[in-house]
Structure 1
């Protein structure tokens, strides 16, 4: 199959994320240099050398602007950053956001609202923009699945987990953000509904059969390489006839707790490791619930 050539008008998925992070880093750096330009250069450098917060900001700005190891690629549209870089940016952005809120709150308590508003106007709104920029980095680096749900391609996104199923080899790859959890036989996986919710085709079913799971570092295509037989129902069609998710009258439902599901691996060949939990996640959105029902329906068709 001919591959689409990446051009400026057809950028790889994730390029916008890299651009946004670098833009935020350049804005913070420009404001920092502008503040230092109004001070004596030697006093500014000596103050930076004796300030742990300045060192933390330097590391944060270096990671935010240069983004070492980041690369936009179509296979990982939501994760152009390596996992260590995403975690580091999230940590430093949280520190900066908390420090900015604490500094602004202390200034408001000591100076009062009127002087605070005058300071916001004098700094061109930087007192409000600084925590907003840190919050933007936190939001961009939030936990996300590897891709969006695509039932036709057997790709499911539930919470921060992504599941890819190959109907030809009957293998399933599970990802937690951009980290690969493992590769399993689809006949050994089942969905279990928790927190007072029932739904899907195989909810409550515990028996699955098959061989042992393959090593976690094995690679397999997430796209079906051959068309499905005409008489076999597609996951989308089966999903329309699947049992709807209905909340049960339980304590969890009364207290407004989110419904949860578990993906279980039950391999008779793996002695001592039967019925392991691959992941457990709440169904926060309607998209998560739809993907969970579709995954449950698809796995039940592979048994």
Structure 2
């Protein structure tokens, strides 16, 4: 099947993430250079050399602007960055966010709200924008699956895990973020629901289309309204906010020492996770 040619009007998924991170890096760099413009070059270099925090910021800005190894690829739309780069940016952004919030909080506590408001106006809102930019990098680099759930294409995203099922070979591939966990026989996989307190057993499932060549229309309908599987918990939340969890189990009689292994275990934090988990359970039962 011919692949769609990537043009400016048809950018690869993930290009927006790269653009956003570089834009944030350029804004932080411009503000830093503006703040140091009142100092001469020698004093600026001396201050940077004697400040470990300045060195950390330099490394962070270099990684954020140049993004070594970043590449937008259609097969991993939510992970255009290498794993090491994403983890490093998260660490530096977290440190920057904590430092910025601590600095602003200490200034407000010592100077008072009135002078703090005057400082925000004098810096054109930078005292509030800086923590927000660090928080934006944290959010962009958060743990997530490779793709969104597409039940018709038998692709599922549950938390930071991505699952794809090949209907021809009946094999299932599992990724934890960008790292491939493994490839399994779909008939040896099952979903186990670890209900949190307060969850109720689900009603019997509605009729579903059998796995195979029963028709693409049935797959499309199932993707719009996935059936609830036996044993799947309802959406009722626990009294203390404990979320229901699922486990993907691999039970292979042919693999000595690997019987009844847990492929992954994760909490269902969003409605999309719950829908994807029920659809994955239903699909595996059809194999």
Hey, what's the Cα distance between the residues in 2 that align with 1:146 and 1:274? Answer: 27
Hey, what's the Cα distance between the residues in 1 that align with 2:278 and 2:203? Answer: 5
Find the counterpart in structure 2 of residue 224 from structure 1: none
Find the counterpart in structure 1 of residue 208 from structure 2: none
Q: CA RMSD in A?
A: 2.3
Find the counterpart in structure 2 of residue 135 from structure 1: 135
Find the counterpart in structure 1 of residue 94 from structure 2: 94
Give unpaired runs (5+ residues) of structure 1.
Answer: 203-226
Find the counterpart in structure 2 of residue 161 from structure 1: 161
Find the counterpart in structure 2 of residue 230 from structure 1: 214
**Which string of whole-angstrom CA distances, capped at 9 and with x for unpartnered residues, describes residues 4-60 of structure 1?**
111111111111110000000000000101111111221111110011100100000
Distance 1:201 1:36, change over 3 A: farther
Which residue, out of 254, 258, 267, partners 1:282? Answer: 267
Give TM-score scaled by structure 1 length: 0.85
Find the counterpart in structure 1 of residue 227 from structure 2: 240
Hey, what's the Cα distance between the residues in 2 that align with 1:201 and 1:274? Answer: 29
Q: Which sits farther off after the overlay, 10-19 or 35-44?
A: 35-44
**Which string of whole-angstrom CA distances, capped at 9 and with x for unpartnered residues, describes residues 229-282 of structure 1?**
237964854933745844499xx8232211110001111122222111111111
Give TM-score scaled by structure 2 length: 0.90
Give unpaired runs (5+ residues) of structure 2.
Answer: 206-210
Distance 1:268 1:130, change over 3 A: same
Q: Secondary structure at the match of 2:238?
A: helix
Q: Secondary structure at the match of 1:253?
A: coil
1:301 aligns with 2:279: no
Find the counterpart in structure 1 of residue 246 from structure 2: 261
Hey, what's the Cα distance between the residues in 2 that align with 1:167 and 1:70? Answer: 31
Q: Secondary structure at the match of 2:226?
A: helix
1:34 aligns with 2:34: yes
**Which string of whole-angstrom CA distances, capped at 9 and with x for unpartnered residues, describes residues 91-122 of structure 1?**
10000000000011111111111111111111
